Structure 1
Amino acid sequence: MRDTVRAQLWPLPTLGVVLAVAAGVGLPRLDARIERDIPPWLTDYLFGGSADAARTVLEAIAGSLISVTALTFSLTVVTLQLASSQFSPRLLRTFTADRYVQTTLALFLATFTYALTVLRTVRTGEDEQVMFVPQVSVTVAFVLTLASVLGLVLFLSHLAREIRVETMLRSVHSAAERTIHRLLLERESAARDSNAPPEPPADALLLPVGTSGFLTAVDGEALLEAAVEADAVLLIDRHPGSSLIAGTPMGAAWPRTGKPFCPETRTRLVRKAAEAVITGAERTDAQDVAFGLRQLTDVIAKALSPGINDPTTAVHALSHSSALLCELAHRDLGTRLLRDDQHQVRVVLQRPDLEILLDLAVTQPLRYGAAEPAVLTRILMLLRELAWSSAPDQHPPVVAALARLRSTITGQDFHAAEQARLTELAQQVEQALAGRWTHEGAH
């Protein structure tokens, strides 16, 4: 829920409107109480006009701010459309979760709402009313207007920077790194289990998906509690980011002692497992360590499409993919085991391994960029960097990807110089796998 709220545009502006209403009601009352007690030196800095002037100022502020807010929303929508069509629909979360955009919209709406709320308290003295000009309140409205003008300038500058592909790639990279650091332990510090994870028996109880959607999170504590209560072992064989269909199996459960489950236990296990596996309408980075790579690969595929044909963007995105893969190679990507108080394995949670992540980062760029030497060069460099950063037991996926890449290169009609350069890079990948790094130009 926290992740969903963070990626929405409305929570912060809504909070700004609520605070503006409270301030618009409270400050005029404070004005009425301290009207005669304001020090003379402070009066010079407060609004000093008549009631008509105060109404004119507040009306001008409210009218201009609602126009500016509409402009800001329009620019934001245009930016979202650009990101969706030019790069990837999966990048929209990056913009909607941008605190700068949310804060700017909150400031504009709060200023508009505050000006309208204060306007209702200004009395001109007509119709036997006592004239009242809330000096402090009108002054605060003027200050908020100045802040909104400055916010508009900074927002335009921020927007111009955010729509650059380099900035978007950097944002995706940073978000993915935060997810990796939050969810995965360092490979060296992770506790190693000498035994293989338990396998479900043939007659294991299948656990169906409760609601269709993308698997966004798994509540491991709830699964562990359910397993201990039923004296069972649970396996969830789908990892966050997977697409789930209601009613299809997402895992299995079996009794730890071999004694069959009673009907009540079976029903309770199925229900609690379905409640612990949370689905949503879209992928998020709450527990999905592959989501960042998915976004980068989408950008690469879009850049290599015939309608855009931008291999430079693809090469830049592959650089970010390489950095993330090298970071993931240093993390514990094995199956996650949850144990009870007696250190018995109760829950087995599958996570994507390096082979799956490398396939996600390389397969589509290799398919769509097979005829572009620059893209193939960067993919070979990615394999070389990953080979150098990974442990020997992680090398098989790199070797398999290198073989597939060599097959693709052989099938292309490249110039002899390009073919020689790609062949040399492939040899450098093999050298990195063997623990040697040959510098450029060295023989």
Structure 2
Amino acid sequence: MGDWKTTDGLPRGRRPRALSPLREHLRDTFWFAPTAALVLVLVVWMAASAADDAILTALRDAGDEEAVSDLLGIAEDAKTVVTTISAAMMTFIGVVFSISLVAVQMAAGQFSPRVVRIFVRSRITKATFAVFLATFVQSLLVLTSYDSQRDPALVSSIPLIQSVLTLILVGLSVILFVMYVNSTLRLMRIAHVVDLITTEALRVVTRMPLDISAKEPVGPGPSPSPDLGPETARFAHHGRGGVLRDIDIARLVRMARQHGVVLRLVPRIGDFVVPGTPVFAVHGGPAPKGLRSLGFQVSVGAERTFHQDLGFGLRQLSDIALRALSPAVNDPTTAVQAVDRIVQFLSSVARRPLGAVLHRDRQGTVRLVQPVPDWTELVDLGFTEIRVYSVASPQVTRRLLAGLDDLLAAVAEERRAPLVRHRTLLTQAVERAVPEPADRAFALHPDRQGIG
């Protein structure tokens, strides 16, 4: 569909796709890819079996019994290989599963429990597991196709194409296994983990529509903006309690356009909602009965996701830094790497309108208002806890001061106040905690590498 544009030519972001929430939810599951692979391999096996039967029938119709005998000999040789593959693939599957569990356990213990979803969403892990299972199932299906007859004139099935497909799957499994080990080793390195988190967080920013009229947060009052009209109704959450993961933006915009109203999401993505929590407010007209299905456009789960959650990336980066600053870990270099990415993320949103996202229909009319964190909230999320727990680490305080200075130089005047506040509080905390003037001066010297 292309990107939307504002009247001044600025990109407003990509129009949300109707299946976007479903796609993201499937990415957060581990069962879909293996299940799809098993269904696909069953279909391929049936097609290959039909092709093998067609080849055997064609040769017999042509009276070429010698060719049938040759094919039978090749198939018997392939049967030994397929039998070996069938026994070995379960061992490979166990190895992959064991490596994944160890990697997840190490990541959760050293980085943060929130990063486990990176392993769950890893495409190469899912592809490896799916192809290994598919190869195992394919080998079993091929073995069932072998005929016990040894006489070429009596044999009813020669699974030649099926055996070739099994060998192709084995080759693909070997390649994927090498790629999987390489990917898993990268995911166990903190630099790669924080890079993935930042990439996901920045992807949320690029998908967020840019609307110049959405500069301030939309409050919970009855009339948050004159453009929306008076609030006429509210719809409460009636499902299970949990974290608001995402909403179906495209469908909500379409429903609001059909009924001639404006919908406002009351909680933010990432908020915990319980039955009875107001979720949507209707503005600009009476609430038709057709909007009773709004509850089906909301996804509630056990944990936050990146899909539409602007602050989730900062939450994960802050958690990694806090874990690194804990006495049990004492790894200030990891905290500095997390601060690097926090500064990068804040720089990317420094000049964007925040507080609320306005989703428009094709005619440019606002149909859905989605609250998002404003600039002050993002700055507080990124720096508050790290600032409090980093006072005893000059490497981190130096990096924090350098990052705050860089952001102060990049943002507009009206957005400097929270940055100045954090810089002042950090300076005061270090002055109170560090008694020696030389150490204090060292800890308060801005350095983008912390301590080189």
- Scaled to the shorter chain, the TM-score interval is 0.7 to 0.9
Which of 89, 96, 109 pairs up with 2:113? 89
Deviation larger for 120-129 or 139-148: 120-129
Partner of 2:299, secondary structure, is strand
Matched residue, 2:171: 146
Q: CA deviation at 1:318?
A: 0.7
Which of 65, 73, 76 pairs up with 2:89? 65
Distance, in Å, in 1 between the alignment partners of 2:150 and 2:110 is 59
Matches within 5 A, 1:35-74: 35=56, 49=73, 53-74=77-98
Matches within 5 A, 1:102-117: 102-117=126-141
Distance, in Å, in 2 between the alignment partners of 1:362 and 1:374 is 15
Distance, in Å, in 2 between the alignment partners of 1:335 and 1:86 is 35
Name the CA shift for 1:414/1:58 in 2 (closer, same or farther; >3 Å): farther
Name the CA shift for 1:95/1:139 in 2 (closer, same or farther; >3 Å): same
Partner of 2:300, secondary structure, is strand
CA contact (8 A) 1:47 1:136 kept: no
Q: CA deviation at 1:242?
A: 1.5
**Cα distance per residue 1:342-396 (max 9 Å; x no partner):** 9886654321111111111111111222211111111112211211221112112
Matches within 5 A, 1:110-189: 110-125=134-149, 130=155, 132-185=157-210
Matched residue, 2:48: 27
Matched residue, 2:277: 248
Partner of 1:216, secondary structure, is strand
Name the CA shift for 1:277/1:424 in 2 (closer, same or farther; >3 Å): same
Which of 200, 221, 237 pairs up with 1:209? 237
Matched residue, 1:3: 24
CA contact (8 A) 2:355 2:375 kept: no
Q: CA deviation at 1:297?
A: 1.0
Distance, in Å, in 2 between the alignment partners of 1:396 and 1:354 is 10
Matched residue, 1:18: 39
**Cα distance per residue 1:145-199 (max 9 Å; x no partner):** 23323332332222212211111111111111111111142xxxx4337999685
Distance, in Å, in 2 between the alignment partners of 1:137 and 1:194 is 61
The answer to whether structure 1 residue 352 and structure 2 residue 379 are counterparts is: no
Name the CA shift for 1:193/1:11 in 2 (closer, same or farther; >3 Å): closer
Partner of 1:115, secondary structure, is helix
Name the CA shift for 1:65/1:245 in 2 (closer, same or farther; >3 Å): same
Matches within 5 A, 1:329-408: 329-337=350-358, 347-408=368-429
Partner of 1:410, secondary structure, is helix
Deviation larger for 103-112 or 203-212: 203-212
Distance, in Å, in 1 between the alignment partners of 2:369 and 2:296 is 17
Distance, in Å, in 1 between the alignment partners of 2:236 and 2:328 is 42
CA contact (8 A) 1:200 1:253 kept: no
Q: CA deviation at 1:135?
A: 2.8
CA contact (8 A) 2:112 2:320 kept: yes
Identity of aligned residues (%): 30
Distance, in Å, in 2 between the alignment partners of 1:408 and 1:47 is 81
Which of 288, 302, 308 pairs up with 2:323? 302
Distance, in Å, in 2 between the alignment partners of 1:170 and 1:338 is 29
**Cα distance per residue 1:38-82 (max 9 Å; x no partner):** 9x9xx9xx9884665443322211110111111111111211111
Name the CA shift for 1:106/1:223 in 2 (closer, same or farther; >3 Å): closer
Name the Cα RMSD after superposition: 3.5
Gaps of 5+ in 1: 429-443
Letter in 2 for 1:71: V
Partner of 1:411, secondary structure, is helix
Letter in 1 for 2:236: P
Matches within 5 A, 1:190-201: 190-192=211-213, 199-200=221-222
Name the CA shift for 1:403/1:21 in 2 (closer, same or farther; >3 Å): same
CA contact (8 A) 1:47 1:138 kept: no
Matched residue, 1:441: none
Name the CA shift for 1:252/1:154 in 2 (closer, same or farther; >3 Å): closer
Q: CA deviation at 1:319?
A: 0.3
Matched residue, 2:267: 238
